[in-house]
Structure 1
Amino acid sequence: MIRAIIGPGKYVQGNGVLKHIKEHTLKLGSSFFVIASENGIKRTRPIIEESFAGEKVKLIFEPFNGECSENEINRLKNLAKEHGSEVIVGIGGGKVLDTAKAVAYYLSLPVVIVPTVASTDAPCSALSVIYTDEGVFSKYLFLPKNPDVVLVDTGMIAKAPARLLVAGMGDALATYFEARACMRSNAKALSGGQSTKAAMALAELCYRTLLEDGLKAKLAVEKKACTPAVENVVEANTYLSGIGFESGGLAAAHAIHNGFTVLHECHQMYHGEKVAFGTIAQLVLENSPMDELEEVIGFCLDVGLPVTLEELGIKEVKEEDIRKVAEASCAEGETIHNMPFKVTPEDVYNAIMGADALGKALKKLM
């Protein structure tokens, strides 16, 4: 058996750390192609330019068009090539970061990742999730290495809407349970081998950190405050979950998330919000003990993650729609096949409906 654990070359986190981007990236090159939303560029450009003041570097800022699609990746790749850029920098949320990683991969350049939100575990991974231009899941792009530098400015993240931090908790919530399922089935993780004890320890620490600090962090960020609880949850959402999912493995929760992308009603929901419900559905699939289900659903209720189909945006639950979700969740190559037992679309349909029923019941009790 081969075990493997992978991670970014350097992970730096702290309040105001973006001001020090030069010292963490200058050795990578002297021409930087920065990808961010127009608002992201407006907020970060002065800080980055001041950090590099006095250095002979070329900084190109290019707005992101909103979707991590093949067309957008190709557009940015061609622009970076035209400018002779030596380093790709992604600033923003998960889709911007995944796009930057893909652009860097196709150009064989180093990549620096600067998340402005802690809404997914994308920053640390050697993976880009590719969507169609319309936002429907298309494929995973597996990359040969993790980002060279991940720079996490928690002061900036604390100023983002609290819903984004909570969505990151939803993504991180799946980490331990999917890694546990993969360990039970001896499935190969995205690292290229079976899970290590270190990866499982990080995945479990991720879950425990959410339970201990999740609500405190949410309340602090609602006031734009960067507290120790916020620091801990940002680390859980970004690093612990990133290493945990990639070196521990993905299973049903993320596959069910991918299934929900086929429903238009769910497109306004964040990735982590759908993953949180997918985690509950995975636990139903596993027939997990009631105390574990109550702990997970109780956490979701505390921080505001969806526990019912209605909270996912599905106001009218139609059997045919949920069966489409179940079919997509079980597509060939999906991570649901890492579960320690065979899973069919019928199983997933029943698990989703069971999770919805549990969510409704516990909402009334808690």
Structure 2
Amino acid sequence: MPTTVLSSPAHYVQGKNVIAELGTHLKNLGSTPLLVADDIVWGIVEDALGKGFADAGLAVVRVGFGRFATPGAVDGLVETITSGGHDVIVGVGGGSAIDAAKAAGHLAGVRWASVPTAASSDAPTSALSVIYTEEGEFIEYRFFPHNPDLVLIDTQLVANAPVAFLVGGIGDALATWVEARATARGTGSTMAGGRPTHAGTALAQLSWDLLHENALAALDAVRAKVVTPALEAVVEANTLLSGLGFESGGLAAAHAIHNGLTAAPQTHGLSHGQKVNFGTTTQLVLEGADAEELADFVEFSTRVGLPNTLAEIGLTAENTAELRAVAEAACVEGETIHNMPFPVTPEAVVDAMLATDRIATRVRVERSLPAPQMHHAKH
């Protein structure tokens, strides 16, 4: 029988204003934490976080961060950990800062914690980092022997963040069940290193259910900058449930197509979750999903504000070279698209992307949804 694996963080904390408690939780992990945050994030969290650190008797030591988790950024953090004698590193802010902190903590042999300030991806809970070039092109996944020692997310910070961040997180999380069920049907492995557990697959489906029940109300809460039960549910779905679900349930075509899209300059400026959602819609087409399920997904993701057409990710059907390059990158050896329960070729991916564009455009007309708007990448 195949080996199944479930992977999870040691401790997960979620709630309104819990950023003030970070010092208390970190004190259980080490005595000399290093905080990694860009200037914008630091301006948001410094006061509340600093008070909590003072109450816990910890010194506040923070280094800045750029835009992407690059090999150079990770190596620089390792040097800072070593030279400063830090015993725990804390990624504060977006997914790339957290990924860089995890990768650096692993290389330096210290403990690490994830403190997202928006529910914009499911990266914080995982035992892996996504590494990019300086331009934001996907390079590799880096895997670690354990998950973060702590994940802490303050839902008031999520409510105060731009609504686009939560939209992107919903896009990332919606892929989780679609990919997990495909992995379960096939013979591939999960990021945790084995076949999916029933628990991992069930958590992926729970994330999907909570999002369909609460996403639109949660977006309204963020627009009002308030914390509601709907927002709490979506933050948990985006962060914890999607994180456990993708890592222990399995990734498939949606994230592989996302990785391929990072190589197309026209898509630059889009969030991870936006590109993933186009990948999810394409995966549904690729696997021949029920027509009603596909149409319902197009409608729901459109109402959330996620792209499901080529125009919305900066491409057209005439961009044949770019579409071919995306498909080939999505199908390279070792990519998660090979977790699909049937062989997938670049030709099939190109055809599915073109069909996705036509289907989504038609559904949006039939259901009186907003027409797609062309995304123009900033150069």
TM-score (ref. length: structure 1): 0.98
SS of the residue corresponding to residue 151 of structure 1 reads: strand
Letter in 2 for 1:282: Q
**Which whole-Å CA distance do the structure 2 matches of 1:263 and 1:340 have between them?**
27
Aligned equivalent of 1:19: 20
Question: Which amino acid in structure 1 is aligned with residue 243 of structure 2?
Answer: G
Deviation at 1:332, TM superposition (A): 1.3
Which AA in structure 2 matches 1:150? V
- Report the identity percentage: 45
After superposition, what is the alpha-carbon deviation per residue over 1:177-221, rounded to whole angstroms, capped at 9, x for unaligned? 111111000321111211111111111111111111111111211
Query: 1:344-359 residue pairs with structure 2 within 5 A?
Result: 344-359=345-360
**CA distance in structure 2 between the aligned counterparts of 1:121 and 1:267, rounded to whole angstroms:** 20
Q: Any idea what the Cα deviations from partners look like across 1:288-314, whole Å, max 9, x if unmatched?
A: 001110121111111110011111122
Cα distance in 1 between the residues matched to 2:57 and 2:205: 45
Give the match's secondary structure for 1:58: coil
**Matched residue of 2:124: which SS?**
coil
Question: Is 1:62 aligned to 2:63, yes or no?
Answer: yes
Of 45-54 and 192-201, deviating more is 45-54
Question: Quick check: 2:10–2:147 contact (8 Å CA) kept in 1?
Answer: yes
2:27 and 2:56 in contact (8 A); partners too = no
Deviates more, 1:304-313 or 1:48-57: 48-57
Deviation at 1:58, TM superposition (A): 2.9
CA contact 2:23–2:58 (8 Å) conserved in 1:
no
Pair 1:261–1:110, CA change in 2 (3 A): same
SS at match of 1:349: helix
Aligned residue for 2:264? 263
* Shift of residue 315, structure 1, vs aligned partner: 5.6
Question: How far apart are the structure 2 equivalents of 1:204 and 1:359?
Answer: 23
Equivalent in the alignment of 1:162: 163
Letter paired with 2:3: I
Q: Tell whether the 8 Å contact from 2:23 to 2:55 is kept in structure 1 after alignment.
A: no
- What's the counterpart of residue 374 of structure 2? none
1:13-92 aligned at under 5 Å gives the runs: 13-92=14-93
**Amino acid in the other structure paired with 1:33:** L
Structure 1 residue aligned with 2:10: 9
The one-character-per-residue Cα deviations of 1:45-99 (angstroms, maximum 9, x if unpaired) are 2222211215443321101021100011111211121111111011001111101
CA contact (8 A) 1:71 1:133 kept: no
Hey, what's the Cα distance between the residues in 1 that align with 2:5 and 2:130? 21
CA distance in 1, matches of 2:70, 2:331: 22
TM-score (norm 2): 0.95
1:183 alignment partner AA: A
Counterpart of 2:104, as a letter, is V
Q: CA deviation at 1:316?
A: 7.1
The aligned residue for residue 243 of structure 1 is: 244
User: Residues 5 and 195 of structure 1 are in contact (CA less than 8 Å); yes or no, is this contact kept in structure 2?
Assistant: yes
Query: Contact 2:23–2:56 (CA<8 Å) still a contact in 1?
Result: no
CA change 1:197–1:314 in 2 (3 A) is: same
Partner of 1:196: 197
Distance 2:158 2:238 in 1: 12
Specify the alignment match of 1:274 in structure 2.
Answer: 275
Taking the aligned partners of 1:303 and 1:54, their CA distance within structure 2 comes to: 40
CA distance in 1, matches of 2:366, 2:346: 30
* Higher mean C-alpha displacement, 55-64 vs 245-254: 55-64
**Conserved in 1, the CA contact under 8 Å of 2:99 and 2:129?**
yes
The CA distance in 1 between the partners of 2:17 and 2:323, in whole Å, is 44
Unaligned runs of 5+ in 1: none
Map 1:138-157 onto structure 2 (within 5 A).
138-157=139-158
Matches within 5 A, 1:100-119: 100-119=101-120
- In 1, distance between residues paired with 2:192 and 2:137? 25
